[in-house]
Amino acid sequence: MKFTAPRWAAAIATVIAIAGSTHWWLQRERHTYLPGVTTDFVAIFPPPPPADSAATRAELDDLLTLQSKRTDAEVNAARRDRKTEVERFYGALGFAPGADPDLPLLLGLAERVEDEIRPYVRAAKDRFRRLRPYEIEERMKPCIANVRGDLSYPSGHASFGYVMAYLLEELVPEREAELMARADEFARQRMVCGVHFKSDLEAGRRGAQWLVQALLASEAYRADAQSARTELRTALKLPGVPRQH
């Protein structure tokens, strides 16, 4: 049977689509860092305090105090930190404010890491089903929107921030103190905005430590991190490439 021009076009489009899909999956396979089995990760967390417990009441009172004292500048800073982007850590790495370094390898690494850790954090959230502070205490007034209906423990935002800080510290150990201070600030913004308990943030840090160890055990991750390390240190004009841990 002969193909007419439209059928030829359709056939070619199908082949291209299949080839593109296959290429995508091959790339995905090559960049898989974590096995995707979340059971051991979820098991590291103790249950959060019950909603009607004294511990939760104390955390809520701390959040109400923080809310009563937060300034417009603090709210604006917290809103800027809403995005989970590695660029939020550029200042802690030593880049000047407003700098826009060309770091495609680092950006790609950070995006893949975020994609890989997300199912782990989601599994823990689904296990504990902790409500957000403003769903328990009606006096809480979140300073960011579009978080209703999501779960609170552990904090995915804190998990991301601490994972980024730990991994960047592996690439630029000279900036360890600045990176960890920035991760603390990045996580605390969720309390400033009234959308997380302090214990959510602490659980996020605990989860990040587990995730980073798992990432560092991945040969695929280490290979990509080595390339990102060279790129980043060159951009920062730092000497040499330190030994990988």
**So what's the pLDDT on residue 26?**
37
Whether residues 107 and 222 share a domain: the answer is: yes
Q: Which CATH number is 158's domain given?
A: 1.20.144.10
How does pLDDT run across 149-199, given as a tens digit for each residue? 689 999 999 999 999 999 999 999 999 999 999 999 999 999 999 999 999
Q: How far, in Å, CA of 144 to CA of 36, rounded?
A: 31
DSSP string, 133-167: HHHH-TT---SS-S-TT---SS-HHHHHHHHHHHH
pLDDT mean across residues, the chain: 88
pTM of the model: 0.85
> How many folded domains does the chain comprise?
2
Considering the domain boundaries, does residue 240 fall inside one?
no
Q: Is 237 helix (H, G, I), strand (E, B) or coil?
A: coil
Measured between alpha carbons, how far is 22 from 36 in angstroms, rounded to an integer?
21
Residues 11 and 120 in one domain: no
Whether the CB-CB separation of 166 and 128 falls below 8 Å is answered with no
Q: Residues 25, 80: one domain?
A: no
User: Higher pLDDT residue, 168 or 243?
Assistant: 168
| Same-domain check for residues 98 and 171 | yes
Structure tokens belonging to residue 145: 């929107």
Residue 176: in which H helix or E strand, if any?
helix 176-192
What count of residues does the chain have? Answer: 245
pLDDT of residue 145: 78
Judge if 39 and 145 occupy the same domain.
yes
Assess whether 202 and 180 both reside in one domain. yes
Is 241 within the bounds of a domain?
Answer: no
8 and 55 both lie in a single domain: no
Kindly report, residue by residue over 102-121, the tens digit of the pLDDT: 999 999 999 999 999 999 99
- Lowest model confidence (mean pLDDT) among 146-155, 205-214, 220-229: 146-155
- Count CB atoms within 10 A of the CB of residue 167: 24
